[in-house]
Amino acid sequence: MSVKTHRSPWRASSSADISLMLGTCSLKSFRGPILEGQCPPVLDFALSNGLLCIGWIHTHPSQSCFLSSIDLHTSLGYQVLCDEALAIVVAPTDPQHQPCGVFRLTEYGIAYLKTCNRRGFHKHSDAQMPLYELVAPKEWSIVTDFETCIVDRRVR
């Protein structure tokens, strides 16, 4: 399996939902801009295609590999619906040389974020414990011998 990256001249990030077709080994992904209030089309697409959303993947083209406050709140929606949900961050220019990370919210993080009503980028400086954790490589793996389908729903 090879991964090719394309850096846009705007250094814009992109994202996708990761969905699993129940009862098979097929992985399907939905690509499109994540815009506030745009979840129903993603949900409709998943339900009409028999998919279970198991997480999301997004890029940090000019940042390090971590979950921002917006990423934390986005991950909350996935992990509340599916406890096993993952958030994958691809950060090709990470100065710590961690170009890809797989993250999960902690139990404390889920409870904390459910009570946070702030929007946009903001600090969670009053958090008493870590809100998320890096998933150890032994807990996940890349499988390359399955059928994939990428549905690009970006507006052109």
Mean pLDDT of 7-12: 45
Is the whole model's pTM more than 0.75, yes or no? Answer: no
Interval 98-139: pLDDT, tens: 888 899 999 999 999 999 988 888 899 889 999 999 987 766
Q: Which domains does the chain have, with CATH numbers?
A: 15-152 (3.40.140.10)
Hey, how many other C-beta atoms are within 10 angstroms of the C-beta on 42?
19
pLDDT at 28 over 50: no
* pLDDT given at position 46: 73
Mean pLDDT of 45-73: 84
* pLDDT given at position 24: 36
* pLDDT given at position 154: 62
Mean pLDDT of 9-33: 47
DSSP string, the chain: --------TT----EEEEEEETTSS-EEEEE----TT-HHHHHHHHHHTTEEEEEEEEE-TTS-SS--HHHHHHHHHHHHH-TT-EEEEE-TT-TTS--EEEEEE-HHHHHHHHT----SS---TT-SS-SEEEPPGGG-----SS-EEEEE----
Interval 70-98: pLDDT, tens: 999 989 988 988 888 889 898 888 878 78
> Which is more confident, 97 or 48?
48
